[in-house]
Structure 1
């Protein structure tokens, strides 16, 4: 299964909008968005962020991520992470996060990379520590239904890689 990555293109927007399968999945990816994810919501997020990237599996867009914070020599924060339902469990998320870590350290000369993950997002909570991320803070948030949820903040210092 050849995995590749490239910057997001206009033609990818509609495909990525189909990845979140529920209001909860969209909340993990993009808490401010309303379900279903629309091209305009996604384009607005891309416009405010850096390094919006897709991973392709066998030539098909299979995952998406970007940075919502990028500071040269400081911190890069990975956000808007989603994997296509058909590509889940096949290493695509891991591959894309590894590429984003590479961008943070090489392109932005970041001292650390951070990622935040909601407590219900089991796939993310299991993936990020495998890549070296360590939890450093927990923030109380509310989901779309007003329920209390925990947003777990994790970091990967440059010297940890």
Structure 2
């Protein structure tokens, strides 16, 4: 009986040792590792939702910067304010998406603007630094098809 018990115990220990799997997840710069027993969870330090402030540039005038502010909401909407080149402010809103680290949104000017402008924006999301960088904006309707760049940092 003792040899059978020893063999069964050895087989059980071997089975549990071999069957235990661990994640080989490699952390990226945009994540924080949280370990819970044998499971590794990758979590962003800064959520993409919140208040973001920075500046934008026109491609035709890269020396002057203008205020750009985003309120990215968890319901999938973004509201923006941009200081205009004619000492005015432009307000827009629309849906946003985050695919990995690629952030994008389609913005439409809000009520009160004579010519409706539609703008697409894309940027790289850095959850560790709390920033959207390498941003590109394109006026796809209205404003004469202007283009430019932007960068914003999360403030809240």
The structure in which a higher percent of residues are helix is 1
What is the TM-score when the length of structure 2 is the normalising length? 0.29
Structure number with higher strand proportion: 2
TM-score (norm 1): 0.28
Larger radius of gyration: 2
